[in-house]
Chain A
Amino acid sequence: MNRGRLGRVGVGAGLAAFVLWTLLPILWLVISSLLRTKALTSRPPDLSAASWTLGNYREVLASGQALGPALLTSAIVSLGTTLIALALGSAAGYALARLSIPGGDRIALLVLATQMFPGIVIVIPLFIVMSRLGLIDTRAGLIVVYLSFVLPVVIWILKGFFEAIPPELEKAAAVDGASAWNTFRLVVLPISWPPLFAAGVFAFIEAWNEFLFAVVLTRLHTKTVPIAISEFAGQYQTKIGEMMAAAVLASLPVVALAIIFRKAILRGFAEGAVKG
């Protein structure tokens, strides 16, 4: 009993440490967004009543042309990337995990190898490809490029889950005469939505936050949220308060999604696909 209580105290302390570690920098982000620059550069930071302001948020919203369309663009691009990545990634992941394609292991490694090139260096040839395809400054262009770095990870996440499905399940389907495609569609996918959801969360957030390719592939019409945020940092001045306010506003949709889907996330990550 004593040991149990000790364990509970340990877990409680661990959870508290986890919350602090995760939230302290976030807390400072939110505080920064609510302070005048003058208060932030004071030593120590001046947290007296006079320092607080909503001015940063007002400035960001008043220039809403920047953040507003960026939010819409980012939502469309991230959602598009996520859905396509899940459709293509689950099929490929299942094939690589289960359907013993010749050279499957090498294909899997090849897929991952596309991630190993520094994006910054392939950006110029990529730019040439995209402009030949007429995809510069388009949402479709961003989705295609984002797929190229989201898809490999989605494939690997799902491949891992599919590998853990007991073979008996598929064999039973095979005995019933189901094709591999129908087994995937009717037996495997329905029990896999939690890992699909997990992979989807990954795809969405990565696409939401991508910066480098967006800088190069965007001109006038498809500025994404990270670009809109980066615009507060110039050569001679960084509008720290406004940038932090924009970052808070831009994170809200993601956090809101997390709260709305908290049960699904809980199931997706806490119950897992298969119980032994």
Chain B
Amino acid sequence: MHRARTMLSVPTNRRSILKGAAGAAGLAALGRRAPVRGVSAATGLSVLSPLAPDPAPPGVAEFAIPEFDAWKAANDVDVTYEAVAWPQLHDKMATNFASGTHVHDIMYNCGWVPEFAQFLTPMDAYLPADLVADLPPSSFSTVGWDGKKLGVVFSLSLLTLFYNTEHLELAGLKEPPKTWDELKGYAKELTRDGRSGWVLNYGAPEGIGGVASYWMTFLQQAGGTMYGADGMPVFNDAPGIDALSLMVEMMTNGSTDPGSLSYVGINDATNVLTAGNASMMMNWPFMWKPANDPESSQIVGKLGSAILPAGPVTSASIDGTDAWTIAATSAAPEKAAELIGFYLSPEVQKKQWLDTGWLPIRLSVLEDAEVQAAAPNAAVVLEQAKLPYDSFVTPDYNEVTQALGTEIQKALGGAKTPEEALKDASDQVTEIVKKRLG
């Protein structure tokens, strides 16, 4: 099981404890970084990270620890982790930035890169060419802004289809659905014996993993896009309405778990599938491990995975964007980049999957035979990665997805037609984007 908690936010050695305490006091007094000289010549790096089992680096999650210790010794670096529960990450960063304090050298980011762009160091100069060549090019689309690479994704986390193989067999369905029509048909067919054909967390409107982002997945499958060349929204068109109509139809015909509208986190929906109470969902690659853990799952060995069913145009997905970024105020951006390079080194990437369940991002590691054997869904995610996956993140992503998601929920709840909802959403998003573009 995940024993990673044992490491949480414990400074890695005694020296860094002293340093952390002195640093905190110095920071407080000066309002900026106050390096403590004389204690040691080592470089101090402070890292803001989620806690395991969310995607976390070695030292927070328990993997590649000997490698991590060796790297620190070889590079004469002290690493201090501030590891917090995922829901607190964004607001911690916002508070630090808004109060003008420098705290972290390296920060985990997830879809917030454009929003926090001015606080991040462009990484173009720090990323070795061989590393960039080994990463999917589109992985940079969600961690860049204004043409600069502001972060690097460390786990390939795309939505794919997950389904209960036993339920499909019982219904006489041989293969996972490949098209929207099959998806709808399957979902209806599989809704029986108190089970639902489809489940997803539609309860939270905003952010990656909110209902708006799920609709964006369908939008791309229908060949649509969020913004035109001028940056203004163009989603209120046929593909947009098709995408929303699909979600609404599957909701109103009873093949979506009605609770979906109340689930605010992916965990709520995952539990329904792993309890065997629903047959299909979209989920992140991480699903594989908990669904095959007998402590939490009733569908051990019965989980299938496939690329998402294609809409009228293509199969498409969105990107979970678990990325590392460097603070613009960091005193040691080179060292910080080296640490990120270590997180992305092939051996750490490999252990990341084998020990934590988070897929690597390096293509060479994803294609590694041992990784593929241990991760039957890795090949699926890799295949999905060859198809479009844009999360359409902008600095106002939260505000856009809040407005859009709320309208989508109205359509799902039957208070508006898909056409009305998208029209109203488009009007609101236009206002939001105009505000940003000035």
- Residues of A whose CB lies within 8 Å of any CB of B are 36-38, 41-43, 55, 59, 62-63, 65-66, 123-124, 127-128, 130-137, 215-216, 219-221, 223, 227, 230-239
* Contact code string B36-70 (vs A, CB < 8 Å = 1, else 0): 00000000000000110110000000000000000
Q: Which residues of A contact B267 (CB under 8 A)?
A: 234, 236-238
* Contact code string B89-101 (vs A, CB < 8 Å = 1, else 0): 0011001001111
When the two chains form their complex, are residues A37 and B295 in contact, meaning their CB atoms are under 8 A apart? yes
Q: Which residues of A contact B275 (CB under 8 A)?
A: 38, 41-43
* Nearest-CB residue, chain A, relative to B98: A124
* Contact code string B1-38 (vs A, CB < 8 Å = 1, else 0): 10101101111000000001100110111010000000
**Also in contact, A65 and B10, with CB within 8 A (given A38-B296, A131-B27):** yes
**Also in contact, A36 and B5, with CB within 8 A (given A42-B275, A215-B88):** no
Q: Which residues of A contact B25 (CB under 8 A)?
A: 134
4 A-B pairs with the lowest CB-CB distances in the bound complex, closest first: A235-B86, A41-B275, A134-B28, A63-B5
Contact among B21, B50, B80, B296 for A234, CB-based, below 8 A: B50
Min CB distance, A73 to chain B, in Å? 13
- CA A236 to CA B6, docked complex, whole Å: 19
Answer whether residue B85 sits at the interface, using C-beta atoms and an 8 A cutoff: yes
Answer whether residue B277 sits at the interface, using C-beta atoms and an 8 A cutoff: yes
Answer whether residue B376 sits at the interface, using C-beta atoms and an 8 A cutoff: no
Min CB distance, B413 to chain A, in Å? 24
Q: A43-B194, A219-B24, A235-B86 are in contact. List 14 more A-B contacts (CB 8 A).
A: A38-B297, A43-B275, A63-B3, A66-B8, A124-B98, A124-B99, A134-B29, A136-B27, A220-B9, A221-B24, A231-B85, A233-B87, A234-B50, A235-B87
* Nearest-CB residue, chain B, relative to A211: B88
Min CB distance, A260 to chain B, in Å? 31
Q: Which residues of A contact B294 (CB under 8 A)?
A: 38
Min CB distance, A38 to chain B, in Å? 6
When the two chains form their complex, are residues A37 and B86 in contact, meaning their CB atoms are under 8 A apart? no
Q: Which residues of A contact B304 (CB under 8 A)?
A: none
**Also in contact, A230 and B88, with CB within 8 A (given A136-B28, A219-B24, A236-B54):** yes
Answer whether residue B408 sits at the interface, using C-beta atoms and an 8 A cutoff: no
When the two chains form their complex, are residues A62 and B266 in contact, meaning their CB atoms are under 8 A apart? no
- CA A127 to CA B101, docked complex, whole Å: 10
When the two chains form their complex, are residues B6 and A41 in contact, meaning their CB atoms are under 8 A apart? no
* Contact code string B80-121 (vs A, CB < 8 Å = 1, else 0): 101011111001100100111101000000100000000000
When the two chains form their complex, are residues A135 and B28 in contact, meaning their CB atoms are under 8 A apart? yes
Q: Which residues of A contact B27 (CB under 8 A)?
A: 131, 136
When the two chains form their complex, are residues B86 and A131 in contact, meaning their CB atoms are under 8 A apart? no
Q: Which residues of A contact B50 (CB under 8 A)?
A: 234-235
Answer whether residue B345 sits at the interface, using C-beta atoms and an 8 A cutoff: no
**Also in contact, A137 and B298, with CB within 8 A (given A235-B50, A236-B266, A236-B267):** no
* Contact code string B254-297 (vs A, CB < 8 Å = 1, else 0): 00000000000111001110110100000010100010001111
Q: Which residues of B contact A227 (CB under 8 A)?
A: 85
| Residue among A36, A233, A236, A238 facing the most chain B CB atoms (10 A cut-off) | A236
When the two chains form their complex, are residues B31 and A131 in contact, meaning their CB atoms are under 8 A apart? yes
Q: Which residues of A contact B296 (CB under 8 A)?
A: 36-38, 41
